Amino acid sequence: MRIIPQSEVERLLPVGPCVEVMREAMIRVSRRDVSLPIRQFMPVPGAAGKLALMPGSLGTAGEAEDASFGIKLVCKYERPHGDPLGTHVGMVMLFDSAKGVPLAMVEGSSLTAIRTSAASALATDLLARKDAKVLAIIGNGEQAMRHIAAMQAVRAIESVRVWGRDAGHAAAFAEAASARFGVAVEPAPSAAEAVAGADIVCTTTSAKEPVLTGSDLEPGQHINLVGSAIPTTAEIDTDAVKRTRFYVDYRDAAMAAAGELLGAIRAGAVSEDHILAEIGEVAEDPALGRTSPADITCYKSLGVAAQDLAAAHEVWRMAEAEGAGTIVDLLA
C-alpha cells in the first residue's frame, strides 16, 4: 500500500487536470456505474467535532481498469478562522476492486479541497456563459481561494469580488488572492454588492442561513453552491432556488441533504422535478444545460465518494509512475 501525503497530493493533482478527472467521474455517477451509500456522521463525545464516513465504489471489476472502492474518513472540527488544520482532516482509503487489496492511503484534506473546486469548475464549464469573466466569491476560507484557481482553469477571469462576514479577513484574503493569481481581487461591502454584475458566483461559506436572496441574482449568472452540506442549512433562499435552472451532483444525495432545495420544496415553491439534471448528465448531453444567455444556472455541490475515489486513483496512478509517497508492506 502506498501512503501519499498532502505535499504529494498537491503536486500530483493540480485543479486543472482534476477537472477532467471529475468529468469522467460524474459521467459514471450519472450512468450509475458506482455505489454511493449516503454519507454518515458520528458525533465525537465531549468535542465540537464529528466523524464523517463516505464509502463507495467506482467502476466494475473486470470491466474498468480503474475499478476501485474505498472510504473517505473525515474529522470535522470547529476551529478558529485561519487555523492551519482547517475544518476537515482525514484520509481516503483506496482498494483495487478486482483483487480486493489496498492500493493507497491518500491525505484527504487537500484531496477533498481540490476535487470540490474541480467539480465546481466542471459545472461552470458546462453551464456558465462562455464569455464569463467577472467572478464573485462569497466566503473567504480555503475553498474560496481554491475556487478562484478552479474558475481560472475554465474561464478567462478578469476580476474577482469577495465578501465575508469579517471585513478585515475579506480584505486580507483579497490582497493575498490578488498576489497569488495575478488578477484584481476586491473586497465587497456586502454579499449582494459582490454578486452585482458578476458572471459566476461561488458560495463557499459555513452559513446556517441564506447569504443571498433571489433578488440578488441577475440574468445570465451561474452559481456554484458549495458551503452547505446538510439539510438544515442553506446559502441561498427559496426565491433564488426558484429562479434558477437547478443542477446537482447526485440526485439521491441532493434529496437527502441539499438544504436550499429541500427548503424550497417544503415551502411549496418547487418540487423534486426542479432538479433538471445531474452534472454528469449535462456532461454527456450539453442540451440539458443552459438554454439562453439570460438563464440563471445553479449547481448544488454536496460531494460524493466517487469524486474522492476518482481523484485518489489518479493520485495513486501518478505516484506509482513516479515512485512518490511511501510503500508499506501490509503482509510483512
Q: Output DSSP code: residue 272.
A: G
DSSP lists the bridge partners of residue 277 as 247
CA distance 107 to 119: 19
> Quick one: pLDDT at residue 331?
67
- Beginning with the edge strand found earlier in the chain, give each strand of the sheet holding 184-187 in spatial order: 184-187, 159-163, 134-138, 200-203, 222-225, 297-300, 245-248, 275-278
111 close to 92: Cβ distance less than 8 angstroms: yes
Cell 470491466, located at residue = 63
Angle at 118 between CA 115 and CA 123, to 5 degrees: 125
Q: Which residues of the chain have pLDDT under 50?
A: none
Rounded to the nearest angstrom, the gap between the alpha carbon of residue 15 and the centroid of all alpha carbons in its chain is: 11
- Of the candidates 4, 85, 9, 39, the one whose C-alpha atom is nearest the C-alpha of residue 306 is 39
> Quick one: pLDDT at residue 76?
82
> Quick one: pLDDT at residue 204?
96
> Quick one: pLDDT at residue 87?
67
280 close to 30: Cβ distance less than 8 angstroms: yes
CA distance 310 to 27: 12
> Quick one: pLDDT at residue 81?
66
C-alpha R_g of the chain: 19
Q: What is the dihedral of CA 207, 273, 124, 136, to 10 degrees?
A: -30
Neighbours of 324 (CB within 10 A): 18
Burial 271-292, CB ≥16 within 10 A → b, else e: eeebbbbbbbbbbeeeebbbee
Is 171 buried (19+), middle (13-18) or exposed (0-12) by CB count in 10 A? middle
> Quick one: pLDDT at residue 78?
75
CA distance 146 to 112: 11
15 close to 150: Cβ distance less than 8 angstroms: yes
Terminal C-alpha separation, the chain:
12
> Quick one: pLDDT at residue 332?
56
**What are the start-end ranges of the H helices in the chain?**
6-12, 15-31, 108-127, 142-154, 167-181, 191-195, 238-243, 251-257, 259-266, 279-284, 305-322
> Quick one: pLDDT at residue 260?
97
The CA distances from residue 169 to 13, 174, 202, in Å, are 28, 9, 17
